[in-house]
Amino acid sequence: MKRSPLRDLIVGIFVLCGLVSIGYLSIELGGLYYSGPAGFKLIATFDEVGDLKPRSAVVIAGVRVGQVVSIELDDILRARCELDVDPNLELDVETSAAIKTAGLLGEKFIALEPGGSDEMLESGDEIDRTVSALSIESLVGKFVNDTGLEGD
């Protein structure tokens, strides 16, 4: 095959464009981004996690600081979530964890809210205060009950 620089260039540009578009889809839309430093482990146990999944986000004040590593049942049949967050954070022992939903039907994530204690959490510690996921069904049910729309 004879070298033809123009064709090589065009092929190069083509491959580059393709990769850029794949990169755009992955990073911008897919939400795959560098999640910052990690390695600080926390445990949080919930009565109900809804459709929280491994790799769901962990945020503080709306800023992503880590992700859910695993979700499993513990001995008393509650959902035990292992979180991996930025070790540079200073979280006190009164920090609470709540499962929230982005928008009405969106993705579940865990929101951490720092407390006011001077005692700090160590890696591997458990967060005591947790708020479980609200499922849309129970919300609707509640709404229906409260407003008496059920029609008795």
The verdict on 140 binding another protein (CB under 8 A) reads: no
Distance CA 40, CA 70 (A): 14
| Pair 84, 41: CB distance under 8 Å | yes
Pairing relation of β-strands 79-85 and 40-46? Answer: antiparallel
- Residues 10-29: x/- map of binding to another protein (CB under 8 A)? xx--xx-xxx-xx-xxx-xx
Would you say 17 or 139 has its CB closer to another protein?
17
- Residues 43-72: x/- map of binding to another protein (CB under 8 A)? ------------x-----------------
The verdict on 1 binding another protein (CB under 8 A) reads: yes
Binding to another protein, residues 80-109 (CB under 8 A): 102-103, 106-107
| Pair 73, 79: CB distance under 8 Å | yes
Q: Supply the DSSP string of 3-49, one letter for each residue.
A: --HHHHHHHHHHHHHHHHHHHHIIIIIT---------EEEEEEES--
Residues making contact with another protein (CB under 8 A): 1-3, 7-8, 10-11, 14-15, 17-19, 21-22, 24-26, 28-32, 55, 102-103, 106-107
